[in-house]
Amino acid sequence: MDINQIESKAIGKYLRLSSHKARRVLEQIKGKKYKEARLILQFMPYKACQNIIKILESAVHNMLNNQNKNINKNDLIIKYAIANDGPTLKRFQPRAQGRAFPIRKPTCHITIIITTT
């Protein structure tokens, strides 16, 4: 890491969406500048985008709040964006003849790290 680079991190935990579907969106914004990534997320039609925008905004505000230096939002780059599996909620759906059908509701944890150029 360069001496002049500043990093900031934000984590969203226990989000009610599949980590596989979140990764599909995160791959699109990895390595992009903040403004470009925000624009991409705003116009993508996936449910994960709303949660990722909130986490990205949180990382930016963490950087602006925790650093005493003047930081321009145009200089921020998404260094790291990943979705890990969270705990799975297990439910049962009643079926015919007294059977039970398992339903798995996945959750995920999304981590975004941004850095200055």
The domain ranges of the chain are 7-116
Q: What is the pLDDT of residues 57-109, one digit of tens each?
A: 999 999 988 876 778 888 899 999 999 999 999 999 999 999 999 999 999 99
Reported as a pLDDT band with limits 50, 70 and 90, residue 5 is: confident
CATH fold of 7-116, please? Answer: Ribosomal Protein L22; Chain A (3.90.470)
Q: Which of 82, 74, 65 is nearest to 20 (CA)?
A: 82
Identify whether the C-beta of residue 84 lies closer than 8 Å to the C-beta of residue 109: yes
Write down the mean pLDDT value for the chain: 91
| Whether pLDDT at 1 is above 70 | no
Pairwise CA distance, residues 52 & 47, whole Å: 9
Model confidence pTM above 0.85:
yes
